[in-house]
Structure 1
């Protein structure tokens, strides 16, 4: 199967991967034949990319690092916890979360097991899951990215657990942010953005009174929007003032934000998200954290068509654990001609060739 933009999805194509709703039920099943009505429905849902089955990608498997059952359980736990504190005062919210931390800890353990036991680089396929409210999916995915980064950086199991809990709860302050601001489709006014920024302090105020987890969890919420150069919020901290855990969650938070659908902006593919983070390396984001992100997450998911600098096109067949930016491709086109027989190209073994662009709008028929 391969990844294709909804802009070029056509009648007769075949869906290659099931799209799930927030209740964990199949919304659009694998193997469904695309119709004009289905394309309209996908656009209405805000889906930007889908996986399809076709000849050039036949046999290529696309699987998330974390099993579906674990994802469903995790997102449900996050959703239930956040819903329980909606409308509560700070003290009551702290009491509710205190009672939930044991379950949250188990959730982190499950996610850690999935990441540690997997030999593959972390792959998250956010467009195959739909949620009514973005914050729950975001909290789940930021946790996965944070754990993968921290694991790559060599943190201990105890540290990983604290980072995981901090990542799950990093946006808990948004539960007291007005919904009309949180989900506004357009640009926020200066006044609205000032209110939005308060979620970091609100999260800290809720979490600092917990008796069941480290105070560092509260600082993850407080500092995840701080930047090394002092341009962040809420306190304009600089490099040495920001806790290392918060530096990790900051990178994971931005990476997931730009590679997921938002009400005000379309998602980027992972390689574009990494480029955004790389642009802030050493100025906004900790260099070691950025380097760990680049090593621990998939740049080009399986099933993605890449155009190379020498003009060849190939579909990503599998990943290289040695370098996540250099996958193995199934080359199917040279000199604008479809090959009768495809062949494998390992980009690690081709130092003179690099990726020119990700081509999610490739629709040329294979002869």
Structure 2
């Protein structure tokens, strides 16, 4: 299958992977033939990329990091819990909702169990083909990515449960922000931005006294926007004064925000987001954490279309864990854009003279013109 931006999808193409609705249930199944109307509906709902069936890559499997059952449980728990907190009667206090910590701990344990079977896997985009409110899906994405990084970093099961809980609830304070600000299609005013930044403090106060939630998870909500050079908020602390878990979550939070569709801009691909992340090395994010993240992230996801410096074009069909920036590519077109009689594969980790110069017809050098919001 191939990973295509929706702008390149044409009527008659068939889905290679399911598309889920807001409740985590299957909306469109594999092999559904896309019509112009369906494509337009996907665009309106914020789907920027889809996996498309392609007989030339039907042997390529895109692994799911967590099971469909775990995804459904996590999606349901996040949505129902956050929505209760958005209700006026629940604002600024969890009184009467003591199941929050217990329910989320159960979800975290399911996620850890699922990810334990993929410890050597590269981090792949988890927000492709999901129709959902950004806050809910983002919370799950950050939890999955952070937990995978925690495993790679050697954290114990108990540590993974705490950082995973902190990651899933890092933005819970946004339930206290007016919905019109959360979903504003454009730049926030100065007053709106000041209020938005208070979500870190709101989150801390929501979580800090909960018996079933570790205090460290509350500090993850409080500190995930602090930065290494002291330029973050809410307190402007720097370096080791920021808890290690919050530093991980801050990095992943930024990455997922860039690679997820927002109301004011389309999603970036991983290589684009990583270019921006690298510009914050040692100033915004800890260098060692960026290096581990770089080594674990699939910056060219399986299924994406790439162009090589030879002018040849193909699809990424495999990853090299030791050198993730040099995947295995199955070539379909020569340098003149002509279809090859038979596809051929090249392992870029073994062909050092070959380089990826474009993704989905865009030059990789254009990435530096992109800015994170």
Q: TM-score scaled by structure 1? A: 0.92
Residue 122 of structure 2 corresponds to residue 121 of structure 1: yes
Q: Is the 8 A contact 1:270 1:300 kept in 2?
A: yes
Higher relative contact order (CA 8 A, sep 6+): 1
Distance 1:62 1:239, change over 3 A: same
Q: How does 1:213-224 map to 2 (within 5 A)?
A: 213-224=213-224
Aligned to 2:79: 79
Aligned to 1:106: 106
**1:133-191 deviation per Cα after TM superposition (whole angstroms, max 9, x unaligned):** 21111100000111112222222222111100101111111111011111111110011
Q: Which whole-Å CA distance do the structure 2 matches of 1:208 and 1:12 have between them?
A: 52
**1:312-360 deviation per Cα after TM superposition (whole angstroms, max 9, x unaligned):** 2221112222232222111222222321111221111122222112116
Aligned to 1:348: 349
State the Cα distance separating 1:40 from its structure 2 match: 1.8
Aligned to 2:360: 359
Distance 1:28 1:360, change over 3 A: farther
Q: Which whole-Å CA distance do the structure 2 matches of 1:89 and 1:21 have between them?
A: 26
Secondary structure of the corresponding residue to residue 187 of structure 2: coil
Q: Is the 8 A contact 1:312 1:333 kept in 2?
A: yes
Q: How does 1:248-263 map to 2 (within 5 A)?
A: 248-263=248-263
Secondary structure of the corresponding residue to residue 195 of structure 1: helix
Distance 1:134 1:174, change over 3 A: same
Distance 1:297 1:114, change over 3 A: farther
Q: Which whole-Å CA distance do the structure 2 matches of 1:360 and 1:74 have between them?
A: 35
Q: Is the 8 A contact 2:84 2:90 kept in 1?
A: no
Secondary structure of the corresponding residue to residue 126 of structure 1: coil
Secondary structure of the corresponding residue to residue 94 of structure 2: helix
Aligned to 2:339: 338
| 251-260 vs 57-66, greater mean Cα deviation | 57-66
Q: Which whole-Å CA distance do the structure 2 matches of 1:287 and 1:57 have between them?
A: 37
Q: TM-score scaled by structure 2? A: 0.91
In structure 2, stretches of 5+ residues that fail to align are: 363-373
Aligned to 2:27: 27
State the Cα distance separating 1:249 from its structure 2 match: 0.3
Distance 1:263 1:91, change over 3 A: closer
Q: Which whole-Å CA distance do the structure 2 matches of 1:211 and 1:53 have between them?
A: 48
| 32-41 vs 298-307, greater mean Cα deviation | 32-41
Residue 178 of structure 2 corresponds to residue 178 of structure 1: yes
- Structure 1 segments, 4+ long, off by >4 Å, are 88-91
Aligned to 1:326: 326
State the Cα distance separating 1:212 from its structure 2 match: 2.4
Q: CA RMSD in A?
A: 1.8
Secondary structure of the corresponding residue to residue 258 of structure 1: helix
Aligned to 1:365: none
Q: Which whole-Å CA distance do the structure 1 matches of 2:63 and 2:257 have between them?
A: 21
Distance 1:172 1:95, change over 3 A: farther
Distance 1:308 1:166, change over 3 A: same
Q: Is the 8 A contact 2:2 2:51 kept in 1?
A: yes
Secondary structure of the corresponding residue to residue 330 of structure 1: strand
Q: Is the 8 A contact 1:227 1:236 kept in 2?
A: yes
Secondary structure of the corresponding residue to residue 32 of structure 2: coil
Q: Is the 8 A contact 1:140 1:168 kept in 2?
A: yes
Distance 1:26 1:99, change over 3 A: closer
Q: Is the 8 A contact 1:94 1:209 kept in 2?
A: no
Q: How many correspondences in the alignment?
A: 359
Residue 247 of structure 2 corresponds to residue 243 of structure 1: no
